[in-house]
Amino acid sequence: MTRIVRVAAAQLGPIARLENREQVVTRLIALLRQAAADGCDLVVYPEMALTTFFPHWEVTDPVELESYYEKAMPEGAVTRLFEEAARLKIGFSLGYAELAGTADTPRHFNSSVLVGKDGRVIGKYRKIHLPGYAEIHPEHPFQNLEKMYFEVGDLGFPVFDAFGGTLGMCICNDRRWPETYRLLALQGAELITLGYNTPLHNPGQDTGQSPEQRRFHNHLCMQAGAYQNSSWVVGVAKAGIEEGCEMMAGTCIVAPTGEIVAETKTLGDELAVADCDLDACIPGKRGEFDLALNRRPEHYGLLVEAS
């Protein structure tokens, strides 16, 4: 018996700085309905899918800055997305900027939630590998201020029993670090949702990389993570030119073999759909990548002591 999860990777085109929640949620619902009509079980949206990617500039107005964060999930206009998912009986994962804590001690995270077909939150992840810097670089055409606007995630890399298998989440820069996939795989992850907002050019941090190399490395890290951990990886991008920043795109669904089985073709709102057989993870997880059988951290020498 196979365990098929039909997944839609829901790429988004640019979200303008002045675009409000109602407008964005309407776009998300349109993709959700399209996925439901195609028989999908799960829709994966990008990182920070409800707003423009505000860490690309210094936000000096505290009212504007607070407007980019969600105090609860769902709240306000976003409730419509949850209600429509429950009506259509389709699940989703959604990236957003989270305001947690209290009024006296607010905490800010780059987060994602996994939502079931009943419209209820199954679990949450908070981004751990924050890129960029915490200070303004006026010489750059745009900023990368995630370290200014967010704390490092404090939930670890949890997995969740959902959609007939074991699912995990990560966000954007997490995909470049092998420990992300390995920590999820050690807990049995069979499908990993991964939303991202990545510039095609990254001022001050490209180290001479061409756009072609950036695109290559974007797919390389996801394909390697999928193959080495025998898991499906659903990488979903923000695409197009957003407030002057050209986004990388490259939305794709990667099989446990490391092969890309579906990808988008445009720079706008678009679905890439694939039937993800969770049982396709079994040959790798019980074969050459059987972690319990073949992984021996005690033999790694100084690496173990250094960790």
Tokens of 182: 């390995």
Tokens of 135: 């200070």
| Active-site residue set | 47, 127, 172
- Which among 210, 211, 127 is positioned nearest to 169, based on CA atoms? 127
152 secondary structure, DSSP code: P
- Going through the chain in order, the beta strands assigned E by DSSP cover 4-11, 42-44, 91-101, 106-115, 121-126, 159-162, 165-171, 191-196, 232-237, 239-242, 245-248, 252-254, 260-263, 270-277
Beta bridge partners of 94: 113
- Which among 305, 179, 256, 294 is positioned nearest to 5, based on CA atoms? 256
CA 113 vs. chain centroid, Å, equals: 10
- Concatenating the DSSP letter of every residue in 61-99 gives -HHHHHHTSBSSSS-GGGHHHHHHHHHHT-EEEEEEEEE
Tokens of 186: 């050690």
- Which among 252, 223, 262, 236 is positioned nearest to 94, based on CA atoms? 236
CA 288 vs. chain centroid, Å, equals: 27
- Which among 7, 40, 3 is positioned nearest to 253, based on CA atoms? 7
Please state, in angstroms and rounded to a whole number, the distance separating the CA atoms of residues 84 and 91: 10
- Residue identified by tokens 């964060």 is 69
